[in-house]
Structure 1
Amino acid sequence: MKNIILIGMPGCGKSTLGKLLAQQLQRPFYDADSVLEEREGRSIKELFAVSEECFRDAETRTVKYLSGLDGCVIATGGGVVKRAENIEIFKTSGMIVFLDRLPEKIVQDVDTASRPLLAAGRQRIFDLYAERIGLYRRYHDHSVDNNGEREAALQALLELVRRES
């Protein structure tokens, strides 16, 4: 059974919707950032303190590990698309779904202090969106809008999975 891999901006709903989707489908759920910290024995903040490249290397190791699993729902880190290698690896194991949420909506919901890349404040979300939106659009197999009610996005994900299964 193919994995369902969720990509998108920090704060777009990957973890929240991923958990709900996994429950509905009775599949295992993995938050790539949590798996990364567990497997690396260091926090994302600690890895970023060394360098972003140090973190991205750890992220790629995590992508390889998660791609070896079967039938899971995986919420990726927002920057996983920064390395084409990560997407190529994920495409071998599943369907990549872009959770599309506008930066205006994200800044209303996200606690920027708890996210290393967003520590610089709300403007960083708009900057990241401008930097990454082309990558999200290039790499996804499917896109689900998450600018309205959470339940509507969940239903769209469920319909997509049922259609593609």
Structure 2
Amino acid sequence: MDDSALTIPLFPLGTVLYPGGVLPLRIFEPRYVAMVRDCLAHDSLFGVCLIRAGFEAGKPAIPHGIGCTARIARCEETGPNRFSLVARGESVFRIDRHWARDDGLLMGAVTLADPPDPTPLPERFRGLRELLERAIAEHGAERFPSPTRLDDAAWVAFRVAELLPVPPERRQRF
């Protein structure tokens, strides 16, 4: 982790977001509606973290200490104070400290990780590339982040981790 400190709203969820990943969300809780409006107004980031304890709705959950920043890529207001959006993962971060605002929105002082240097996919992992090519062909390119970077080891690793049928806690460890 480098010295890129940042304060962002945190969105604890029952899922893990990786850099470059795509996350569809339906927003209806007042604290998250306000967060979305603010993110849209300022083109700002929020953090997605796997829930360590608690639940997605209701009082603020306790997040795992590592998450991924997200930026709203598409958003549609589907009703009064309801949004359907797609967020895209950008950077891994570590939560240095977190607190809940009066409205229940969790905030975090986070430190961004340095992004991995682009690394060619080693030949011994060519099968993973082929697996992703088949998944993209079968499920549609729109379900995967673009541009596809099938020769970038980190991009391939993140996409394979998204596809594996493992519990969220295991994804968090990845």
Shared fold per TM-score greater than 0.5: no
Identify, as 1 or 2, the structure richer in helix.
1
- Higher RCO, 1 vs 2 (CA within 8 Å, ≥6 residues apart): 1
Larger strand percent: 2
The structure having more radius of gyration, on CA atoms, is: 2
- Give the TM-score normalised by structure 2: 0.28
